[in-house]
Amino acid sequence: MNKIKKILKSKYSPLFLLAVINLLVAYFYIKMPFIDCSDYATYVNAVNYIKGLECNINPFNRLLTMPLTLLSAVFFSVFTGNLDSGFVILNIIFYFLIIIIFYKLVLEIFNSHKTALISAILFQSNYWLFSYCSAYLADLEGHFFFILTNFFAVKYYLKKNKKYYYYAIMSSVIGVFFKEFGALGMISLGMVILLSNFSWQRKFSELLKAAVLFIFLPGLFHLLFYFKFGYSYFNWYGVNLDSYNTAEMYNIISMIKVLGWVYLAGWPVFLFSLWKIKRYFKLDDYKVALVLLPASLAFFAWPLFMQRTAFVFVPWLAIYTGFGLSKMKNKYIIALILVIYILAGYNMELLLEVINLPF
């Protein structure tokens, strides 16, 4: 009984309760089972290759970019009885983990439980994160390590404790084996070093050391993979480059539509938050925002605009939208805005049919 009371009083309890509601809504209301999503077939195909079974699709892109995700799903499938449920367990675990580390990241930045709570609600209730189909296309594991690395990078910037420098590198190294999104946090660490009050000699030394330490294991893996299978990440990028009409899917209109969809109901609140930021931010707050921004815009490097890759921008948006909302004095208005945001996420498919641009 005491343990139950302790859990209920935990700062994470409202976030975990909402997480459960989100997942139930996704399953019973949104009803988009992940096994019908196109990419899931490639995951199963890659697992079949690992098991020595017949493959209908080239498995190398998934084996190269997400080996630990595949192996983790296989591990859980031993207990659940099939691969589908193995992926479900894996992704639900990381859904809860990503909520915790995101909360900790915001708390580290602003030292405010209220801001951290609001930002975490905005983040975890984004449609592209919790919907079963979207979640499996949103590469939860890679995003978790991206945010974890950001957390250590921010800690290093604020505390100047060298252990967080190494934790950030280690987090990215592990993350890149789950999905390439896991490597993006290294950009944030690089920004921390550049914006810190270090000598240029120390900046160069730390940037070089970070690059070498990060590249060693993933680089060795990719090199061995290429020698064994004749396949590299350049092949995978080239496949995507050739598969889409870049002129139609990489332009200002596509960018507006994708970014509009990926943070639909959050944009008006974010614009309001910009005014609050201007009013309350100090120099270090702007620096931390700048530290996290370049990696959050990495989706521009992909050969087309799509919600799946643009989701990497959502954590940054949720952090600073949450800050603006937390500065509102009326808690009932805050609650109303959050409810509207959550309900919009639950009805994303319906809303897109209504407001989708005809071009």
What would the pLDDT profile of 265-302 be if each residue is shown by its tens digit?
999 999 999 998 999 999 999 999 999 999 999 999 88
Residue 195's SS3 state is helix
| Cβ neighbours, 10 Å, residue 95 | 18
Which amino acid type is present at position 166?
A: Y
pLDDT at 10: 77
Q: Tell me the average pLDDT of the chain.
A: 90
Structure tokens at 26: 């996704």
Q: Is 127 exposed, middle or buried (CB count within 10 Å of its CB: 0-12, 13-18, 19+)?
A: buried
pLDDT at 54: 84
Structural domains counted in the chain: 1
Is residue 160 left, alpha or beta, with left meaning phi > 0 and alpha meaning psi from -120 to 50? left
Is-above-0.85 flag for pTM? yes
The C-alpha atoms of residue 273 and residue 320 are separated, in whole angstroms, by 7
DSSP string, 161-175: -HHHHHHHHHHHHHH
pLDDT at 32: 67
Helix (H), strand (E) at residue 106: helix 83-110
pLDDT at 31: 75
pLDDT at 359: 47
What is the number of alpha carbons within 13 Å of residue 26 lying toward its C-beta? 25
The C-alpha atoms of residue 35 and residue 166 are separated, in whole angstroms, by 38
DSSP string, 47-84: HHHHTT---SS--HHHHHH-HHHHHHHHHHHHHHSSHH
pLDDT at 38: 63
The C-alpha atoms of residue 172 and residue 324 are separated, in whole angstroms, by 30
Q: Which residues of the chain have pLDDT under 70?
A: 1-9, 32-36, 38, 134-138, 241-249, 355-359
Domain residues for the domain of 19 are: 2-355
- Name residue, tokens 């896991």: 182
Whether 153 and 193 have beta carbons less than 8 Å apart is answered as no
Whether 319 and 292 have beta carbons less than 8 Å apart is answered as yes
262: which DSSP letter?
H
